[in-house]
Amino acid sequence: MYVRPEDIIAEIRKGFPTEKITALERPEAPRIAAVNENLYGVPVYVYGEGFRGQYLRHAYIDRMGVRYWAIETGRVSVYGELRDGRLVPLVVMGLPTLYVFELKPKDFVNFVREEVPVGYIECQERQMINLDRVMRAEDPVLVIDKYDLLRMPTTPTEYLERMKELVSMVESLQRALWESEKAVMDYRANVNMLTARIAKLQELHVWFEERTVKLASEVTSIQSDLLRLREEIKTRGVETEAMEETTRRLRDLVDRVSGLLTDLVAWGEEFRRALGRGAEEVKREGKERAEAKEEKK
């Protein structure tokens, strides 16, 4: 039994709800200054879509070695300005109006071209069936087989082969879709995990900021204490130098006093010895005087 891709997508989204995905907007045709004069204003017909407007301009796109045409389509009209100021349509959608046959060129004072972009077409160059004939002005309409409808098979066998090819293509697209859905779910899980990590890192960041502020206040307090201690050490150093100077002077004074005391002791001993010698001499002289008196008697 053939399973449609829509059924698979519905079952997947039932089990794994996803956010609504908006369709991408088709890019606008790039604006270029150069316009092919042989194609300008030619009506463009696409098999399967119908009339898409008139050719305005195009750009080339190279995709994996295949040349694509990015065609901007629109409506081109030519108006003639009469001598009384009225504008009458002369050419609309590449076809002349009745005014072309009723009026003469001398009845107009000016001609105005109106260009209104309305669409955008991308197709391979090979899918533009009668490009050469249009360029030679042999065909009035540019026919594009964008979906290769003209290349469809014509016999039952070819239809079966084409059906097998399309079924294989659908299965490949289903596998690609499933892998894409799985990749999206994996990416979403990774995003949720990274979001949780970011929230945790933000909490750590806040904690580090608070800790940094606290440490900064503590460092400031320590710096003020260090400055105070440095001043105190300077003061104590001056006081210590003064005490060392005083101690040195006291030591010198003590040394001098000790020297004086030593000299005094030496002087005392010398004085006592001198007194002893003087006393002995006085005794001896007295004794001699006494003896001399005795002899005189």
Domain ranges of the chain: 31-151
Q: Is the pLDDT of residue 1 over 50?
A: no
What is the structure's pLDDT at 62?
87
Average pLDDT over residues 157-180: 81
| pTM of full prediction above 0.85 | no
Q: Is the pLDDT of residue 149 over 70?
A: yes
Q: Is the pLDDT of residue 18 over 60?
A: no
Q: Is the pLDDT of residue 132 over 50?
A: yes
Contact 56, 117 (CB under 8 A): yes
What is the structure's pLDDT at 85?
87
Q: Is the pLDDT of residue 20 over 70?
A: no
- Position 17: which residue type? P
What is the structure's pLDDT at 236?
79
Average pLDDT over residues 59-68: 87
Top-ranked range on mean pLDDT: pick from 118-122, 145-149, 197-201, 234-238 = 118-122
Average pLDDT over residues 182-200: 86
Other Cβ atoms less than 10 A from the Cβ of 133: the count is 13
pLDDT band at 14 (very low <50, low <70, confident <90, very high): low
Spatial CA neighbour of 96 closest among 83, 114, 78, 110: 78
Taking only the tens place, the pLDDT of each residue in 249-269 is 777 777 777 777 777 777 777
Q: How far apart are CA 6 and CA 176, in angstroms?
A: 14
Average pLDDT for the chain: 79
Average pLDDT over residues 151-178: 77
Give the H or E element holding residue 4.
none
- By the 10 Å C-beta count (0-12 exposed, 13-18 middle, 19+ buried), 46 is classed as buried
Q: How far apart are CA 145 and CA 48, in angstroms?
A: 8
Q: Which whole-number Å values give the CA distances from 56 to 33, 94, 123, 147, 297, in the listed order?
A: 11, 12, 15, 22, 183
